Structure 1
Amino acid sequence: MGNRLSRIYTRTGDSGETGLADGRRVPKDHPRIEAMGEVDSLNSQLGLLLAELSEAQAHWPALGEIIELLAPCQHRLFDLGGELAMPDYQALGSDEIDRLEQAMDRWNEELGPLQEFILPGGSRLAAQAHLCRSAARTAERRCQQLNASEPLRPLCLAYLNRLSDLLFVAARLIARRQGCAEILWRAAARDA
């Protein structure tokens, strides 16, 4: 593989526009750029979660399964970014959605049904997984906004939706495997 970037700065974006892979120039706040940025932000948050999981795995070996499941998601998010940057490019396959759904089914068997609403937290790792879940929802909303004016492949939108679901389940599983109690939501007391 050759060099992808010979120079990091180009000065072509100084006027508030950026280039897409197909050669078009668009404003930096264009819905496509917003969607790409949120997918990138999610990927960065996921990278932090994976780094922290790797460090914690020495203490909690059962976290290794979560790492194995989530690590490929960073690559698929990069693929999704490619699809956003090059509208005619297709990288994501439905097999990836199947992979996420199968993992959720397995993990939910271990967790059992959710009886109450839970709050992000319980452990630093679980909270980071919830940050990733929240970032996935933001990326999904930005992609839906783009989809309203420039239709995206439904598979791309489904992937972000499923990934956010997976990250919710992963947060619960992390807390369980660390032996941390989930933080249950408590409704505010009402005046009688």
Structure 2
Amino acid sequence: MSIYTKFGDKGKTSLYGDKTVSKASLRVEAYGNLDELNSFLGIVLTELKDKKIKEDMLRIQNDLFEIGSSIASISTIKHRVLSQYLKKRVGEFEKEIDNLTKKLPELENFILPGGSVTGSRLHFARTVARRAERRIVSLAEKEQVLSEVLVYLNRLSDLLFMYARFINYKEKQKEIKWVSG
């Protein structure tokens, strides 16, 4: 199988289901942002030492592939199954966020992104997740998108924030408080 088809050379691509769209379409932009997030999480994975977070990241990468696939498809056949799965995952994210919250010092101020290299990259991944969420919100304003996708991405960015804090805490990196003015 060839990696190139030359079909996209004129700025068009095919969605799953054989619909041709511009590569500048909201749908392509949305799943492109998910792909970027997934790729960046791959970078984070190369340096993660925490076994549990590493396993979680691999699952998240698979989730993002599933979500991207659903966004790239005009078919809604798999939506019910994906909807139930994402609801379950959001519950798992919330449990993990609550668990990490108990292990970390209470957050009393906004903090600046930074810390260790891995912590900083997790902060950056959070912002990429937020951008992907915004692009999918834009798409959802014009076309049908599973509402659970938006909830998943919102909670994922919260989880990435907590992972950044946790990694920095484990690596004894002090959080830098945001100071106004």
Structure 2 length as normaliser, TM-score?
A: 0.93
Distance 1:145 1:68 in 2: 31
1:70-109 to structure 2, matched below 5 A, reads 70-87=57-74, 88=76, 89-90=78-79, 91=82, 93=85, 94-109=87-102
Of 125, 128, 151, 1:132 maps to 125
Q: Name the count of aligned residue pairs.
A: 175
Distance 2:17 2:173 in 1: 48
Offset of 1:174 from its aligned partner?
A: 0.6
Q: Give unpaired runs (5+ residues) of structure 1.
A: 1-5, 58-62
Kindly, what percent of the aligned residue pairs are identical? 39
Distance 1:150 1:105 in 2: 33
Of 154, 157, 160, 1:164 maps to 157
Q: Does 2:4 match 1:17?
A: no
What SS does the corresponding residue of 1:184 show, helix, strand or coil? coil
Q: Does 2:31 match 1:44?
A: no
Q: Does 2:59 match 1:64?
A: no
Distance 1:162 1:8 in 2: 34
Offset of 1:182 from its aligned partner?
A: 1.1
**What is the letter of the counterpart of residue 145 of structure 1?**
S
**What is the letter of the counterpart of residue 27 of structure 2?**
R
**What is the letter of the counterpart of residue 151 of structure 2?**
A
Q: What is the CA RMSD across the aligned residues, in angstroms?
A: 1.1
Distance 2:11 2:35 in 1: 19
**What is the letter of the counterpart of residue 140 of structure 1?**
E
Larger Rg belongs to: 1
CA deviations on 1:108-143 (whole Å, 9 max, x unpaired) are 011142111111111111100011000000000000
| Alignment-derived partner of residue 26 in structure 1 | 21
Offset of 1:170 from its aligned partner?
A: 0.6
Structure 1 length as normaliser, TM-score?
A: 0.88
Q: Give unpaired runs (5+ residues) of structure 2.
A: none
What SS does the corresponding residue of 1:26 show, helix, strand or coil? strand
Offset of 1:179 from its aligned partner?
A: 1.1
Offset of 1:68 from its aligned partner?
A: 2.3
**What is the letter of the counterpart of residue 83 of structure 1?**
S
| Alignment-derived partner of residue 30 in structure 2 | 35
**What is the letter of the counterpart of residue 15 of structure 1?**
K
